[in-house]
Amino acid sequence: MNQFFLKSPSRSFLTISVWMVLNLIATFAILLSSHACVRDHSTGYEWRPDSLIREIAIKDYPDDPDLLVCDSVFYGKFSHREVIFIQEDNDLKKFTIKFTPKNTLSDTIVFSHISLDEWIPTVPDFLKGDPLLSQIAIFNQQFNRVQVKFEKGNVQLKGNHQESEVVTRVDLAKNCLHLPLWEIIAYKKTTDAQGHKRDAPVYHGWFNFPYDLHTELMKRKGWSDEEARKYTHDLSHWGTSVPSEKVIDLKNLRTVQGDEVVLPLTILNDAAYPMQEYDERWKKMNNILYPKRTLINSFLTDSTQFAKFISPGVYRRRSPMPTQLGRFRLPTPEATLRRITSKNKAKTKSFELELEFSRSENPQEITRLLFGGFDIKKIDTLAADYANKAIFQMPMGISNHYFNQPYKTFVDPANRASDSPWYAMVLGKRDRWLNSHEVGVDGVLLHFDKDDPQNLHIWLLAFERHALVGHFVIRNNWEQFREPAQ
């Protein structure tokens, strides 16, 4: 060893130097890796999707229902390049979401102090012991639209270009397809020919939510890293959703209190469903492939087809969506009302309604519509002709949010999906769960009658809410139910 150093001092120095450099590089790599890990959860970190915002030219999307309601002067003129999610704190509670402009007419759209938690599908805490109900909950939360409204003042347009002068509202939507498909829609206030004020679309873009951020937000909700990654993957594939005909245990969802009440059900399916110019049903009428009438009974057949909703979130008439709406052809003229207590943490006391149907060609095939966990005080009062304006339009599934709502309502702690008592299901005999998307039903719409508040109107929303495929009225002294029994 001594001879080696004496005879080759320069080589010894070189060996030591290389060793020191390698150690410095390794140390730097460790520090850099450590810094990167911390940065993933630090203020100011930017999460970016794997692609830029997609925009579809009017000529390439002839089946766009918004073409009937948009502002023709501006629709298609504004353009945005990318979306950036910027962390505002270390625990993923709040984000700034920024949409950058792509042309000189457009501005930077900025949402500040936004919570993303409620957009991320989850299993309600009280259902985690039931694997089947857990699956139904999380997959129906993914495969139902959640569109959230931000009025001017809750969203900023920065740049002082034409877009900032026009836009008065911007919505963010997790659409009803698989992860990561999201949308941004901007509106301006306008007045129609009848003098009614409404929001007219002026911009529509499609973008991907960042996969890695989705996984981190699931972990924030209490899932392990392995579970969060698995769910992020599974929610990206429709094929992993729950198959029909699985027997569910309703006792894990709620407890029935006292005796149920059977009430007469008035069936109004022999009339056309209502629509007003520019409302959702009006603008989607062109995407009803069969039938070509608005008479509700005309829809109650398995021949009914709608334009399919496909990636990235568009309707295609050339891709028909089949249904099983013949299941609802013959409603039983009575409904069952139950007082229930949810299994959620709050033990919410509310109500459940059940309607029963059969097919004209097979009266033995029973289909049930079951929904509960709703607060009667939150159901608004409207004339039946204006049913499409009802606030209470809720998806099928468990612990879902409204299809559309303001951001303030969306993030209200009382509406958290982790503890919400709401559920709506299509069931067969012996509590066999049926996939409502395959049946062709999206949810229920409720309102009290403007002329007679003792009448509760129940409307059945078709696939993608293209049409109303059921109309029923239950007459009752609902005042006694406005304060649930203790």
Q: Which residue has the higher pLDDT, 243 or 29?
A: 243
**Burial of 444 (C-beta count, 10 Å sphere; 0-12/13-18/19+):** buried
Residues 273, 193: Cα–Cα separation, whole Å:
23
**Cα distance between residue 452 and residue 444, in whole Å:** 20
* Type of residue found at 209: F
Tens digits of residue pLDDT in 277-294: 999 999 999 999 999 989
Please give the model's pTM, rounded to 2 decimal places: 0.89
Amino acid at 291: P
Q: How far apart, in Å, are the Cα atoms of 171 and each of 151, 152, 342, 409, 475?
A: 8, 11, 32, 14, 37
Q: Let me know the angle formed at the C-alpha of 36 by 33 and 37, rounded to the nearest 5 degrees.
A: 90
Q: What is d(CA 232, CA 252) in angstroms, rounded to the nearest whole number?
A: 25
Alpha carbon distance 399, 417 (integer Å): 5
Q: In what order do the strands lie in the sheet with 305-310?
A: 288-290, 305-310, 314-322
Q: What percent of the chain has pLDDT over 90?
A: 83
Beta bridge mates, 114: 95
Q: What angle do CA 33, 35, 39 make, to 5 degrees?
A: 115
Measured CA to CA, the distance from residue 119 to residue 111 in angstroms comes to 15
Over residues 19-45, the pLDDT tens digits come to 443 344 443 443 333 333 334 567 899
User: Rg of the chain over CA atoms, in angstroms?
Assistant: 27
Token digits of residue 260: 């149920």
> Does 355 score more than 60 pLDDT?
yes
- pLDDT of 301-345, one tens digit each? 999 999 999 999 999 999 999 999 999 999 999 999 999 999 999
- Contact between 100 and 86 under an 8 Å Cβ cutoff? The reply is no
Burial 263-287 (b: 16+ CB within 10 A, else e): eebebebeeebbbeebbbbbbbebb
Output the pLDDT for position 88: 97
Backbone angles phi, psi at 427, to 5 degrees: -125, 150
Q: Which two tokens stand for residue 128?
A: 């985690």
- Three-state secondary-structure class, residue 1: coil
Taking residue 385's Cβ as centre, other Cβ atoms within 10 Å add up to 11
Across the chain, mean pLDDT equals 90
DSSP assignment, residue 221? T
DSSP characters over 287-330 = GEEE-SS-BHHHH-STT-EEEEEETTTEEEEEEEEE--GGGGSE
Longest Cα–Cα distance of the chain, Å, equals 109
Amino acid 483: pLDDT: 61
